[in-house]
Structure 1
Amino acid sequence: MSAESTENALSDEIIDDQDEASTDTDDNPKGSAASRLEEEGDVAADYLEELLDIADIDGDIDIEVRNGRTYISIVTEDETDSLDSLVGEDGEVLEALQELTRLSVLSATENRSRLVLDINGYRQERAGHLQKIAEDAAAKVKETGEAVALEPMSAYERKIVHDAVADLGLVSESEGEGAGRHIVVSAD
């Protein structure tokens, strides 16, 4: 049995144990929520594994549940850019894959998912870049007293910037709609 098969079997046992525990006590919603998130992770990992197989791309899938969300990472030890095509320019392909994965989870579980997909650490690298964007905008607002409008970004990226701006003691609001939704940073 491969390490991945063993991990999946152990994960299935954990989910089964949590399902039994949550049915034993109806007042334990936390156990059922954890079980639901683990199920999301398993469904998403199966979907992504099949996609990687079809595309003949090597990659390892890691599942982590934290802060009420399922985080799926696809990583590779290979230094070639085989996974870069799954990220795309400015993460566009990654965002599309994340949405398709969420739809797969919805189809299998009948529950909407807020899972986050990362490929080769793109989101972590992007978070550092977004932190810098927030710091630069905050510095400009403090220097000029004028509000600063940022480029449009995804909801996930806006959340990172909102948190960074708040940590810097300023205010941020999302404005616009659809693909044009962006953040405006101000002093009040």
Structure 2
Amino acid sequence: MGIRAEVEERSLPDLSIPYLNVITDDARLLIGVRARNLLALEYLLKRLLEKEPPESVSGFFLDVNGYRLHHLEELKGEAKNIAKKVRLYRTELALKPMSAFERRIVHMALAEYPDITTQSTGEGETRRVVIKPYP
């Protein structure tokens, strides 16, 4: 494919695993539609690294040019805005369907709100977070 890239590693407060950011001019190719290429690449790399000694690999979060990190920040912002509406109207509201990782980020972002609670509902690709007023 001939893709030139650099990889930077750092730790992020929201992640308990290393953050690996691929910096490249070919981001669109690596990311793909709805980040499917990027998620597939992360999956393949994790399966390959499973063959290494357990102490050498503890998992990682793969990104390209900060694409997924930006998406997670937007997701947290959206969740906090919905939480404000739940507080104001005292009614439950559901977010759009999302991956298990994204749901975890939402649950963690809203854990600091003592007057609301979050719950994952649905199955498979329709699984989502519902934000509710705390009884």
Residues 130 and 161, structure 1, Cα contact 8 Å, conserved in 2: yes
Residues 59 and 75, structure 1, Cα contact 8 Å, conserved in 2: yes
The higher-RCO structure (CA 8 Å, 6+ apart) is 2
- 1:98 alignment partner AA: E
More helix by share: 1
Q: State yes or no: 1:116 paired with 2:61.
A: yes
Name the counterpart of 1:71. 19
- How many pairs were matched up? 130
Shift of 1:161: 1.1
Name the counterpart of 1:106. 50
Q: Percent identity between the aligned chains?
A: 32
Name the counterpart of 2:102. 157
Shift of 1:61: 1.4
Matches within 5 A, 1:70-149: 70-76=18-24, 78=25, 82-109=26-53, 113-149=58-94
Helix, strand or coil: the match of 2:77?
helix
More strand by share: 2
Shift of 1:68: 4.5
Shift of 1:65: 5.5
Residues 149 and 183, structure 1, Cα contact 8 Å, conserved in 2: yes
Helix, strand or coil: the match of 1:57?
coil
* TM value normalised by structure 1: 0.61
Segments of structure 2 that go 5 or more residues without pairing to the other structure are none
Q: State yes or no: 1:182 paired with 2:113.
A: no
Residues 73 and 120, structure 1, Cα contact 8 Å, conserved in 2: yes
Q: Which has the larger radius of gyration?
A: 1
Shift of 1:180: 1.9
What RMSD over aligned residues (CA atoms) do the two structures have, in Å? 2.2
Decide whether aligned partners of structure 1 residues 84 and 167 sit closer, same or farther in structure 2, where only a CA change above 3 A counts.
farther
Segments of structure 1 that go 5 or more residues without pairing to the other structure are 1-54
Residues 172 and 185, structure 1, Cα contact 8 Å, conserved in 2: yes
Residues 102 and 113, structure 1, Cα contact 8 Å, conserved in 2: no
Name the counterpart of 1:36. none
Residues 60 and 75, structure 1, Cα contact 8 Å, conserved in 2: yes
Within 1, Cα distance between the matches of 2:60 and 2:83? Answer: 30
- 2:19 alignment partner AA: Y
